[in-house]
Structure 1
């Protein structure tokens, strides 16, 4: 996508390049980055209702645009607390169901303070889902299924990502995320 990105979206785009593609956390992302088929949407929502409105619009745009493979809705001004973001995710699931998009679209979640259940807050495995801003990643399920079918042992991707995160270490991710956030704050 060639539209002008906001500073928050630029930070997430850099995170995609450096972490998601650079560390190969998602082996399917490189192709979409190269094709420029990722749409970055800046949502300044601070309420669940507004975030869902922005998400629904992003989902509709994705479904109407075959040139866009995936959308990243960057919550640039709200949901900084992880617990609030988790509340939003509950409503996101209900929204997918309400619009009968389960099986068509899927939402992956990323947050600066992401914490998997049964992990400590500073567990390095959490960095596999930490981004400079809260993000709702809208994926086409059919495309994801196709990519997974071609990839050997896709169930090993999370384990491999955790090993990579452990190799890089917590300080690496803290520094990278702080740098991306700081760059986006200066650009505002």
Structure 2
């Protein structure tokens, strides 16, 4: 693992990773959208990988590899993985459908109960919310990505948090106070957003 926490990654200086780190620093950590992210990020325990996949099949191959790598890695060196895929599943509907494939892969690899996947996308839209609802930005990232997590780490974090159920509402409250103008002032661009992948009509 190198000093930036990118274990065997060929994309150490990739601008895609740089923008992803900016998003982590200014939004996820800066706005405290995830109270568990700061220690992992500052501890260089995140593996950043940019997939070159341009098809679902190629992405699945990359995902399989990263799931296996994470499952075999020492959590003291690699706690979690961000598999960024800027060239495939740009449409949020397609991405949302693919999450079922990702979950099936975990089962096929017999990693159910050990690893799980969280979802982030430039056009993320929570069920029942309009596309322009600022609450969607809780899960909006510069590029589509699959966040690979260790289940025991998630359970431990939940147990240690005084009120885990409050995080989602606190995040919405934070974003509503910030507003779209405030978000834009953070300087986080979403170059992979198409802006036209609504699940629900406006």
TM-score calculated relative to the size of structure 2 = 0.85
Provide the residue aligned with 1:50 in structure 2: 58
Aligned partner of 2:36 among 10, 15, 28: 28
Provide the residue aligned with 1:185 in structure 2: none
Q: Does 1:63 align with 2:71?
A: yes
SS class of match (1:177): coil
**In the TM superposition, what are the counterparts of 1:105-116 in structure 2 within 5 Å?**
105-116=115-126
Query: What is the deviation of 1:129?
Result: 0.3
Runs of at least 5 residues in structure 2 that lack an aligned partner in the other structure: 193-202
Q: Which moved more, 1:105-114 or 1:167-176?
A: 167-176
What is the CA deviation profile of residues 31-87 of structure 1, one whole-angstrom value per residue up to 9, with x for unaligned ones?
A: 011110000010121211111111111111112221100000001212111111112
Q: Distance in 1 between matches of 2:116 and 2:183?
A: 26
Query: What is the deviation of 1:172?
Result: 3.0
CA contact (8 A) 1:105 1:140 kept: yes
TM-score calculated relative to the size of structure 1 = 0.91
Q: Distance in 1 between matches of 2:87 and 2:154?
A: 29
Query: What is the deviation of 1:174?
Result: 4.5
SS class of match (2:50): strand
Aligned CA-pair RMSD: 1.6
Q: Distance in 2 between matches of 1:57 and 1:152?
A: 35
CA contact (8 A) 2:22 2:188 kept: no
Provide the residue aligned with 1:168 in structure 2: 178
Higher helix share: 1
**In the TM superposition, what are the counterparts of 1:75-86 in structure 2 within 5 Å?**
75-86=85-96
Query: What is the deviation of 1:173?
Result: 2.9
Q: Distance in 2 between matches of 1:53 and 1:172?
A: 38
Provide the residue aligned with 1:102 in structure 2: 112
Query: What is the deviation of 1:122?
Result: 0.4
Q: Distance in 2 between matches of 1:103 and 1:5?
A: 34
Query: What is the deviation of 1:114?
Result: 0.2
Q: Distance in 2 between matches of 1:174 and 1:85?
A: 24
Runs of at least 5 residues in structure 1 that lack an aligned partner in the other structure: 183-188
